[in-house]
Amino acid sequence: MPVQPTYPGVYINELPSAVRTITGVSTSVAAFVGAALRGPDNVPVHITSFADYTSTFGGLHASSPLSHAVYQFYLNGGSEAEIVRLVGSGAARSTATFSSLTLTAAGAGTWGDRIRFRVDHDTATGAANLYNLTVRDNDTGAEERYLNVSINAADPRALHKVLRTSALVQLPTGTEGPTVRPLEHPDPPAGVDPLADPPPAPPPAKPEDDTPPPVYSTPLGGGQPGGALAAASYTGDEDTKTGLWALDRADIFNMLYLPGITELSGLPAAVYPAAAGYCQKRRAMFIVETGKEVNTASRAVDAAHPPPPNGGDPFGIARDLRKNVAAYFPWVNLADPAEEGGVREFPPGGVVAGIWARTDAQRGVWKAPAGTEASLNGVQELTANLTDTEHGRLNPLGLNCLRQFPVTGNVVWGARTLAGADRLADQWKYLPVRRLALFLEESLFRGTQWVVFEPNDEPLWSSVRLNVGAFMNTLFRQGAFQGQTPQQAYLVKCDRENNPQNDIDRGILNILVGFAPLKPAEFVLINIQQLAGQVQV
């Protein structure tokens, strides 16, 4: 606050700084949406390793394309990911009631039937309104323990509050937990694990011996896996945040992939437009691939440029959405750890997402995720080996190809968006240019929030120019833009010229940020001329 001088002397007044550092957002967070063996459904779960995925969603399994895509993502250099598990219609959560306490599994499916819970009254104070709850998943061994849980809904230790972080169980919808302290489970004999699955009871020797064994914990039951995923499972509902809209709860993601969707008849055409539109809204890229049946260059041409009567929109995605989509061909053959190392065909999306993340970490988002450095880790061979001539038919259509070369091996050999067809002449033809623009948009969107409600005049404009300019100059020094000087590489304009009084009166602040992107050297032409008869003078 301002200093009020009252006596002769020296006063110290700390003034706010005009420097507000803009930090670049992450560019390599992948979002995977699909079916998993277990775990919470329609909730984004942030993971940083495949071990995280295994502990929450059950690890690799032949029937889960999602698990293989995430595994391949980390195999190829991925770092962070958001996982959304989808379930089909008819799926139900396991549930059980003991005394006054009812719990359900955190997600639908039969996996919840392996969960057991136990109540005891050995609390810190012994108060009559407190109890302890222990929950264990006997399939993975994951265990959660909640101590001194209160039956008072307003207490910070109320059950509905402490279970917010649980990955195993939750309360039935609309409930806050028991209002009467639940009874406690009996203590087991020494050396007996109270949460272990009890062994099958032997048949009684006599009818009078047919007494139930003691119960030291309560199992959940009644889970249903549901049917196959449908288009509505992916598109979901915006109001209830299901399907793709579950990612609204995630802070940020930069690339979206839907594992296994190409293997489900009719789903890509029904889901891809919605997914591409959602990515455009979230400033992210959507990774797609051709179907498994597309195993030749001619079929790939039809996929990238469908013939009449369905021609016009490759993969069913309209032109205005293609700038946020990148398509790849062909599929890849990898060893499947879930089947003792047997080689299987997989769609390339998980591998490609990992290469994007690896390239970002090593070179930056402005480097095309393609070339000799973009090696396909773990890929033994491609399902279609293209010639240069065949590739020359696909590249002008905006379809990125995976190629196999001597010495180099299997690599990504294309860096165009789906809007990169030559005939479109789109400004977002190249993938690194589009991804750099999305990076700038998201970073500046988050880094200029402080401007809202500030006095809209020259002091604010100069502060904006200072902070945005410092951010852009940092990127320039890292090699993100063309040009030998900052003036050639970028511009930041926020002054009276682009903020007329009419806009100021309407509460509008205009900031113009321009950048000169680096275009990838897609075609390298070497001119060779024979010199003969020249005389050195």
Q: What is the per-residue pLDDT for 201?
A: 62
User: Dihedral through CA 118, CA 121, CA 124, CA 127, nearest 10?
Assistant: 140
CA distance 217 to 359: 50
Arithmetic mean of pLDDT, 286-310:
88
Does the bond joining 330 to the residue before it have cis omega, within 30 degrees of 0? yes
Q: What is the per-residue pLDDT for 412?
A: 97
* HEC string for 119-175: EECCCCCCCCCEEEEEEEECCCCCEEEEEEEECCCCCCCEHHHHHHHCCCEECCCCC
Position 206 pLDDT exceeds 70? no
Q: What is the per-residue pLDDT for 214?
A: 76
Read off the amino acid at residue 401. Answer: C
Position 212 pLDDT exceeds 70? no
Directed axis angle between helix 349-362 and helix 65-75, to 10°?
Answer: 30
Position 213 pLDDT exceeds 90? no
Tell me how many helices (H) and strands (E) the chain has.
Answer: 12, 20
Hey, what are 142's tokens? 């994951």
**In the structure, what pLDDT confidence band is assigned to residue 529 with cuts at 50, 70 and 90?**
confident
More confident residue, 109 or 18: 109
Q: What does the pLDDT look like over 237-254, one tens digit per residue? A: 999 999 999 999 999 999
CA distance 210 to 204: 6
Distances (CA, A) of 459 to 20, 472, 507: 14, 20, 16
Q: What is the per-residue pLDDT for 294?
A: 93
Position 17 pLDDT exceeds 70? yes
Position 1 pLDDT exceeds 80? no
Query: In 3-state terms, what secondary structure has residue 211?
Result: coil
Q: What is the per-residue pLDDT for 203?
A: 64
Q: What is the per-residue pLDDT for 208?
A: 61
Percent of the chain scored above 70 by pLDDT? 96
Q: Is the pTM of this model over 0.95?
A: no
Q: What does the pLDDT look like over 175-188, one tens digit per residue? A: 999 999 999 999 99
Task: Sketch out the chain's domains with CATH numbers.
Answer: 29-87+227-432 (3.40.50.11780), 95-201+212-219 (2.60.40.4290), 471-537 (no CATH)
CA distance 351 to 32: 12
Read off the amino acid at residue 145. Answer: R
Mean pLDDT in the chain?
92
Position 209 pLDDT exceeds 60? no
Contact (Cβ atoms closer than 8 angstroms) between residue 348 and residue 289: yes
CA distance 92 to 225: 7
The string of DSSP letters for 459-477 reads HHHHHHHHHHHHHHHHHHH
Position 319 pLDDT exceeds 90? yes
Helix or strand run (H / E) with residue 118: strand 115-120
Q: What is the per-residue pLDDT for 215?
A: 83
Contact (Cβ atoms closer than 8 angstroms) between residue 97 and residue 86: no
Distances (CA, A) of 203 to 107, 159, 337, 468: 35, 39, 41, 77
Nearest to 270 by CA among 220, 229, 299: 229
Q: What is the per-residue pLDDT for 358?
A: 97
Q: What does the pLDDT look like over 125-175, one tens digit per residue? A: 889 999 999 999 998 888 999 999 999 999 999 999 999 989 899 999 889
Query: In 3-state terms, what secondary structure has residue 409?
Result: strand
Q: What is the per-residue pLDDT for 199?
A: 75
Q: What does the pLDDT look like over 70-98, one tens digit per residue? A: 999 999 999 999 999 999 989 999 999 99
Q: What is the per-residue pLDDT for 197?
A: 87
CA distance 254 to 240: 23
What helix, strand, coil percent values describe the chain, rounded to 5? 30, 20, 50
Kind of pairing, strands 342-346 and 332-336?
antiparallel
Position 205 pLDDT exceeds 90? no
Position 534 pLDDT exceeds 80? no
Q: What is the per-residue pLDDT for 273?
A: 95
**In the structure, what pLDDT confidence band is assigned to residue 537 with cuts at 50, 70 and 90?**
low
Percent of the chain scored above 90 by pLDDT? 82
Contact (Cβ atoms closer than 8 angstroms) between residue 97 and residue 79: no
- Of 433-447, 472-486, 518-532, the poorest mean pLDDT is in 518-532
